[in-house]
């Protein structure tokens, strides 16, 4: 006589049959009537986890932009892109992280000790340039120093405009290698702006609506600009322009909801 199969094996058997489309939950359990009662909660949970996959999907446009960037890095024979210095040293200086006194102290130190020229220079930096991480670092410091959700939102919207402007500048300079990365950053920034608006809406719905309108206006203007670029620039630039259009469209649709 065969030994009684363990519950682990029966569970796997049910999962395999369901995965192959041979059974659904009920018919899989019906194959093991003595164990069905104990198998059901686990099997239901496993199927629920599988059904939750779409909830963990990446943002629209991320995979395409990231693939393009990866292939460019590989073709250029680059080593893995290191985590930016400021982010490695100051992991808490990220959008959405809880504000704390250490952040404030470091942000102040950063602002005070950096040469003015360096800061001014970094404001003009584009993705891929040496001063670009500094530019992003300064933005994080500005966010850390902002003490209200309204201030955060204003900054996030402003940074989103900067990201869009960077893409335009890269396209105008025909620096297409960094453009997919810049588009990815625009997507992140639009997300951050929308999240910040959500947070503000919980405190001051009227102000959130006004700022939302201003955000929508700037996204619509950017979309117009990208449309013009799409009509006037060579096909080489089209994939990144289309991605940028996708991101702005996405932001607009979310705002209109």
Partner 1 sequence: MPGYPDDSELLKKAQTGDTDAFGELYQRHAPAVYRYLLAHLGSQMDAEDLTNEVFLRAWQSLPKYHERGNPLLAFLFRIAHNAVIDQYRRGRAAGGPQAELDANLADVKPGPAELFSAGFERQELLRLLGRLRPDYRTVLTLRFVSDLTPEETAQVMQRSPGAVRVLQHRALGTLRKLLDKEKR
* Torsion from C-alpha of 205, 207, 208, 209, nearest 10 degrees: 90
Binding to partner 1 by residue 66, rule CB under 8 A?
A: yes
Angle between helices 205-232 and 149-172 (to 10 degrees): 0
Q: Helix, strand, or coil here: 147?
A: coil
178 and 164 in contact (C-beta within 8 Å)?
Answer: no
Residue nearer to partner 1 on the CB measure, 114 or 198? 198
Half-sphere exposure of residue 126: CA atoms within 13 angstroms, side-chain side: 20
Q: Which of 3, 33, 80, 235 binds partner 1 (CB under 8 A)?
A: 80
Q: What is the x/- site pattern for partner 1, positions 209-238, by CB under 8 A?
A: ------------------------------
Q: At CA 18, angle to CA 15 and CA 22, rounded to 5?
A: 135
The window from 140-148, 164-172, 217-225, 248-256 that contacts partner 1 (CB under 8 A) reads 248-256
Binding to partner 1 by residue 20, rule CB under 8 A?
A: no
The window from 77-85, 103-111, 141-149, 206-214 that contacts partner 1 (CB under 8 A) reads 77-85
Query: 52-61: string of b/e by CB count within 10 Å (b at 16+)?
Result: eeeeeeeeeb
Residue nearer to partner 1 on the CB measure, 7 or 228? 7
The footprint of partner 1 (CB under 8 A) covers 7-9, 11-12, 41-42, 45-46, 49-50, 52-60, 62-63, 66-67, 69-71, 73-75, 80-81, 83, 88, 91-92, 94-98, 184, 188, 190-191, 194-195, 198-199, 250-251, 254, 257
């Amino acid at each position: 006589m065969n030994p009684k199969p363990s519950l682990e094996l029966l569970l796997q058997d049910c999962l395999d049959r369901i995965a192959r489309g041979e059974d659904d939950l009920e018919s899989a359990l019906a194959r093991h009537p003595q164990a069905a009662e104990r198998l059901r909660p686990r099997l239901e949970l496993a199927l629920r986890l599988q059904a939750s996959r779409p909830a963990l999907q990446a943002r629209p446009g991320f995979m395409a932009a990231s693939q393009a960037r990866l292939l460019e890095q590989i073709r250029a024979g680059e080593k893995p892109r290191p985590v930016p210095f400021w982010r490695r040293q100051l992991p808490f200086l990220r959008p959405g992280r809880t504000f704390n006194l250490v952040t404030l102290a470091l942000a102040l130190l950063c602002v005070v000790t950096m040469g003015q020229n360096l800061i001014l220079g970094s404001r003009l930096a584009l993705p891929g340039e040496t001063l670009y991480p500094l530019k992003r670092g300064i933005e994080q410091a500005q966010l850390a120093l902002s003490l209200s959700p309204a201030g955060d939102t204003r900054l996030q919207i402003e940074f989103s405009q900067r990201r869009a402007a960077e893409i335009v500048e890269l396209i105008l300079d025909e620096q297409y290698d960094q453009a997919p990365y810049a588009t990815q950053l625009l997507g992140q920034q639009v997300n951050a702006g929308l999240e910040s608006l959500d947070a503000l809406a919980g405190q001051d719905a009227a102000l959130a609506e006004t700022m939302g309108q201003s955000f929508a206006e700037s996204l619509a203007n950017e979309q117009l600009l990208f449309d013009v670029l799409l009509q006037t620039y060579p096909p080489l630039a089209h994939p990144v322009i289309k991605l940028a259009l996708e991101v702005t469209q996405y932001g607009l649709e979310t705002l209109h909801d």
